[in-house]
Structure formats: structure tokens, C-alpha cells
């Protein structure tokens, strides 16, 4: 950015060099074209007689050209929404999809940038950890807030936790990798005695052991 500011301070006298540097530094074809266009303006300005009308006109054109070109390059390269910075943030830089807005959860997620999805995932993970701590420190308050009970719809966001001893079969079936049959098996087994741990729940319900890795971050008891 310093080179573009230098170009403004010199009223375009260093336009050829500043735009050329930006073209090489940022691999910008536009900056290369702007640098090439500086050549005839500088040539006319340099070859004109001192104080002549041609010198004054070419100097004015050079200043206006430099202002416009510098403003464009600044926006194109340093703007928050420029293609370069969106690419660095991992966001899509192609044309926006046409058609109606996505209605499914997968479609809605596909329309978001990667950075936003990462931030959302990190926020939900933090909420789960905070909710686990609250459940351990103050079980009564945690029950009142509905931690682990999405079926109660209390409005408290616990990051997606599910209580295997109390949540409905529908809520349990929403856990990663689980089916409605898995959920029904868990509900049936807990009716005889509460689960004490995730391995205990999987063994008693005769569920695949690999599910422990899939749902361990989401279940509470």
C-alpha cells in the first residue's frame, strides 16, 4: 500500500514504477496494464516544452489518471471484499449461484464462507464445554435450562448436547452416525437402569463401538 501512496504524493510521476511493482508483487494483470498506460503520458509530459500548454495538459491528465488508477488498485487489492483477500480467507471467489435461496441445512451451509463455518463450529464447541461444566457444577440449574434436552425447546443453546438418559428418541437419533433404530435401542435399555457412561450405553444397546468416536463430544448423562 505504501507504493500506491507514494504514487499519489508524487502526483503520478512514479506511476510507471509503483504500478509495475504492484503488478509483480500481487501478480495483478490490471496493474501491469495501468503501468504500461503511464508510459505515453510520461513521454508527452517529459518531451513538452517547459510551461507549454501541452505540458500543463499532460501533467493534469497524468495526475487525474494516477488518482483514478491508484484508487482502483487500492480497492481491488486491499479491499476486504476483494478477490485476493476473500481467497486468503478461504471464501469462494466465483460468481454467486443463481436461483432460489437454499432451503435445506446442507444448502444453507454451502452458501456460507469457510471462515464463517469454522467460527460457528468453534462457537458451538465452546458452548458444549461451558454447558458440560455447568452440568457438573450445578446439575439443578443445568436441568432447568434443559442442557442435553433439545426436545424440551427451552431456548438455551448448549451447543448440541444430548442427554442419553433423558432426551427423546428423536433427539438421540439426530446425533452423528445414529439411526432411529439405534435411538430406540438406547431408550429401551435405559428404562431398566440409567447409563453411567457412553461405553456402557453402547454395550448394553449392542451398538457398534465406532459410534463412541462419532458422538462422544455430544452426549451427557
Distance CA 142, CA 138 (A): 6
Any domain includes 97: no
Distance CA 55, CA 80 (A): 38
What value does the mean pLDDT take over residues 124-150? Answer: 94
Q: 158 pLDDT band (50/70/90 cuts)?
A: very high
Any domain includes 185: yes
Contact predicate 51/44, CB 8 Å: no
Are 160 and 208 within one domain? Answer: yes
Cell numbers at residue 22, please? Answer: 504492484
Q: 6 pLDDT band (50/70/90 cuts)?
A: low
Q: Determine the pLDDT at residue 89.
A: 45
Are 129 and 208 within one domain? Answer: yes
Domain residue limits at 203: 119-220
List, for residues 159-212, the tens digit of each pLDDT value: 999 999 999 999 999 999 999 999 999 999 999 999 999 999 999 999 999 999
Contact predicate 112/67, CB 8 Å: no
Distance CA 38, CA 12 (A): 9
Any domain includes 101: no
Q: Determine the pLDDT at residue 154.
A: 93
Q: Determine the pLDDT at residue 111.
A: 55
Any domain includes 96: no
pTM: 0.51
Are 67 and 6 within one domain? Answer: yes
Q: 30 pLDDT band (50/70/90 cuts)?
A: confident
3-state secondary structure of 163: strand
Q: Determine the pLDDT at residue 87.
A: 53
Amino acid at each position: 500500500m505504501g507504493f500506491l501512496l507514494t504514487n499519489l504524493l508524487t502526483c503520478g510521476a512514479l506511476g510507471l514504477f509503483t504500478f509495475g511493482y504492484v503488478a509483480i508483487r500481487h501478480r495483478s494483470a490490471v496493474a501491469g496494464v495501468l503501468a504500461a498506460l503511464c508510459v505515453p503520458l510520461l513521454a508527452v509530459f517529459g518531451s513538452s516544452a517547459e510551461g507549454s500548454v501541452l505540458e500543463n495538459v499532460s501533467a493534469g491528465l497524468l495526475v487525474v489518471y494516477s488518482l483514478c488508477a491508484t484508487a482502483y488498485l487500492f480497492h481491488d487489492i486491499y479491499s476486504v471484499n476483494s478477490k485476493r483477500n476473500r481467497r486468503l480467507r478461504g471464501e469462494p471467489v466465483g460468481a454467486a449461484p443463481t436461483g432460489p435461496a437454499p432451503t435445506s441445512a446442507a444448502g444453507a451451509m454451502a452458501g456460507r464462507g469457510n471462515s464463517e463455518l469454522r467460527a460457528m463450529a468453534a462457537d458451538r464447541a465452546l458452548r458444549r464445554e461451558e454447558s458440560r461444566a455447568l452440568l457438573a457444577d450445578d446439575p439443578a440449574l443445568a436441568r432447568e435450562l434443559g442442557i442435553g434436552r433439545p426436545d424440551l425447546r427451552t431456548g438455551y443453546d448448549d451447543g448440541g448436547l444430548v442427554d442419553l438418559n433423558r432426551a427423546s428418541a428423536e433427539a438421540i437419533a439426530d446425533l452423528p452416525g445414529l439411526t432411529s433404530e439405534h435411538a430406540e435401542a438406547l431408550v429401551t435399555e435405559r428404562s431398566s437402569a440409567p447409563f453411567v457412561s457412553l461405553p456402557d450405553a453402547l454395550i448394553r444397546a449392542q451398538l457398534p463401538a465406532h459410534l463412541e468416536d462419532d458422538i462422544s463430544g455430544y452426549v451427557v448423562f
